[in-house]
Chain A
Amino acid sequence: MKKHDVIIVGGGLAGLRAAWKVSEVADTAVVSKLHPLRSHTGAAQGGIAASLGNETPDSWEEHMFDTVKGSDYLGDQNAIETLVKEAPKTIYDLEHLGVAFSRTEEGKIAQRPFGGHQKPRSCYAADWTGHTLLHTVYEQCIPKTIAFYDEWFALSLAVRDGVCRGIVALDIRTGEVEAFHSKAVILATGGYGRAFKITSNALANTGDGLGMALRAGLPLEDMEFVQFHPTGLYRQGILLTEGARGEGGYLVNGDGDRFMRNYAPEKMELAPRDVISRAEQTEIDQGRGGEGKDFVYLDLRHLGEAKINEKLPQLRDLARSFVGVDPVKDLVPIQPTAHYSMGGIPTTVTGQVISDEKNAPVTGLFAAGECACISVHGANRLGTNSLLDAALFGHKAAVATIEYLNEADFHPFPEEVMIEGVTRVKWVREANGRESAPKLRHELQETMTQKCGVFRDREKLEECLAKVKELQKRFDDIGIGDRSKSFNTEVTEALETQNMLDFSEIIVYGAMQREECRGAHWRVDHPGRDDENWLKHTIAFQKEDGIELRYKDVVITRYPPKERGY
């Protein structure tokens, strides 16, 4: 049994920011299934939002309004207010730590426009913003005393009687399962785009933290809201930064028209993601895709080689190595790609995890980053707000943890959680059934993209739910070929698939019940937003006899819901 005051699960931006802060006062460990530098934060390209006003005057009120409107009024305005007010300080802190922000002529942090933001407020480092954030924060963790358990796969949360006492994790290198006893746990396991076939997310983004929460009997919030990013590289789903449109790129359909004219005449290519993804999907569905297929084009040719090289070097590389086109001369084929999970483990503004719709806290358990739902993004996240979310609320969760540690002590570790972990891993490693776990995963991804994607309706969702349930059953009969204990990725992949099957059911079920269109959730059979019945958060529990949905009011302080046009 390992013992630390605080265990942080996940070494992305949120987890590392938390570790950096908590380690000032407590014995801290970071448990991450990837080496922290391999976390998906590194893939974020576009930027991180704050109303610094370095390019044009800006204010937190404007940032707040944009975020609230972007969230389709589902975001909790108290949380959003914290987010936007503390954003500039967060950015300055990160700059002081060494983040390699691009600079303006006067040497200030450069900012550029981004979809849904009225002002240029995306602070960026060319198109590798997430990379420099991740590396810088990790680097600053090195001189601190933090125990890093790299390549350890967290299996379960040890929660009993409403108190979190640690976790159980699998050492990927040796195949051994161990208990980690702690006073507090901070979950920062990132997103779950891998539940979909076309996704911008890394292969490791399988939402394990959500699976852990469900297994500990905790609910998930607003899971039906999945953001589809409009510029995924065709077939691969790999993200081409929204910065491409921020820098002036066009979207054109198979006929060569800038089709956004018909959907968001004012903002055009800078409308929010949900609006553009639906526009693209409509063009494709109506047969105006490129070559009549399921993609449209991103056109950057008019920007010229110099600008592309300076501002979008990574994009050019990606397009060249993954689809063999050069954006300087060619149109780049793109399609909507599952990108961001607005929902997650419900928390308060301080990062305290809550266990029901009445905000009852789970003592000693905190969450931050993409796996958490605070909710600052509501029904649709604005680009560049999530790095901010991870950096800021990672820090806040640490502050709340430190406060909690003042009075906290170690509570006895529940043996049964350890036993369950050991048994589950052993069961998977020795599984002898007929089903192939990768095949189940592919079927899940296919059905989620087809039936629970950009456009949804009851019929498709019902089919989807049935399919997910079928897959869950079939999972009990999987067979594993690799019995080795050292670096057995077949086992970890199967464990990931199990997590995805668990929370996918909640996504689909929540989407089925929510009969309206709000933000990223679009019900073709229920057009229009329905504030009267649906201006509320979904809190979903996984019970023995199926899923139970409860609802929670949205916090509205400054901006009452209005029609959302761009």
Chain B
Amino acid sequence: MASSEGLSVSTVPKDVDRTWLDHMHEWVSTVDHKRLGVLYIFSGLFFFILGGLEATAMRAQLAIPANDLVEPAEFNRLFTMHGTTMVFLVGMPIVTGFGNYLIPLMIGARDMAFPRLNAWGFWMFFFGGIVLYMSYFASMGLYGAGTAPDVGWFAYSPLTGRAFSRGNATDYWILGILISGFGSMSGAINMLTTTLTMRCPGMTMRRIPLFVWMMLVVSFLMLLALPVLTAAQVMLLFDRFLGAHFFDTQAGGDAVLWQHFFWFFGHPEVYILIVPGFAYASEIIPVFSRKVIFGYVTMVAASICIGLVAVGVWAHHMFTVGMGRGLDIWFAIITMVVGIPTGIKLFNWIATMYGGKIRFRVPMLFAIAFIGQFLLAGLTGIMLSGAPFTWQLSDSYFVVAHFHYVLIGGLLFTVFGACYFWFPKMFGWMMSERLGLWHFVLFFIGFHLTFTTMHIQGLLGMPRRIYTYEPDRGWAIWNAITSAGVVLQGLGVAFFLLAIFMAFRQKKPAGPDPWDAWTLEWSTSSPPPEYNFLSLPEVRSRRPLWDLKHPEDPDWEHE
């Protein structure tokens, strides 16, 4: 190995001596949780650009009535690839990436429990994404039918049957998601094991940062939900390749069974995506309010409740199937129950800010916007939990508005916040506050233009997944506004990319602790050395750095 001739610092080759191939080799063969975390996050951002372009194409088509910019069949592929990409290739890797990067640092460990499995997981995810996108080039197959998959992100039967989906496009969907699912499962095993077994001295479960607690809930949900999807996908492969009839109604199979399998995975999945958003907010808000998080124990309890209830509500996505009264009622009520722990969390974030000395820096701006937007998203969610209400609005733009409020207003905003917050730790450079502000303002206005108006189209009866509409429906003006918002969001993202680029160019040093924060990752250098901590830290409270900075009034006297 490279450094075996000598261990002292001076013999380590300096950056200038290494070619880009050496760098590449280091990255592809790495088992370091920090590098893998960065790989996950940057691949996620890469796919985010792809998914964003797909969305832009759809909104361009819908901007005016009776438009013919995008063909009907192409439109189907666009919304399928957009949804699949955003959930599986953007949300999942970014969530796993931040978990990977931060969990060991926050609990005072030198790496994840299974570093090589970690690398395997990343590559499975990455190749899974490539396989999905290969469909654009390779799925013509013998039939010349279709390129990218066009069955929607939940791939309902019978659309996925051989008879309705010829060629291999649907198979690419199955395989891509199946492969990347293995990556996520191994990531979950790793995060779970690391948190449970590798905490530094004094880091009891009552002292781990809320981020770590929430990622624990997320890992649990991943392990519970993903295998079900994987199994269902294998069954679908059997249907398609071996002539099985699991989901083939005409041969005695059951199309609704697929829906149950999919949503048994799908609803926990949406919590797998939003709870990390809670996790970022729970770290950012206290630091920028200069206050300790309000109600740590309640927050943990609420997270666990959400995790438990989240696995019992899946069929609220199936109210229109005709499940029968008993099931409709059960799933409606239990869905309303989710609102209780979720509401508690909102109060705790607000109470954390209340009376604090708030610093309106870019990460905090994103977190504050998240609170309001997530509240609205939760309210439309509660509305949709009433089964008769959903009968009216299911598969309309109202539902599309609801889940984009959660996924963008909730998750993506906190992800942006998290990027500005932890970027200095990951790379050692500050991101520009000015560019960040542009990013925030443009994206915020664009988001509301697009998605707040979208509720109205839904109420006016516009169905989702239509490629065009007639001018006389009264939807035109709202669609024009919705599409206009996309331009601003695109500009916002451009400022984000510019801010990342400029940070590497300008190299404004961040120092180990740019935000005057309190969790362990800020006690080591930025970027942290490969081994994270020279000697393992010892902690006595939930805010170890506070204790060191304020020996006259340490936290452990209060906890």
Report whether chain A binds chain B: no
Residue ranges of B at the interface with A (Cβ–Cβ < 8 Å): none
Residue ranges of A at the interface with B (Cβ–Cβ < 8 Å): none
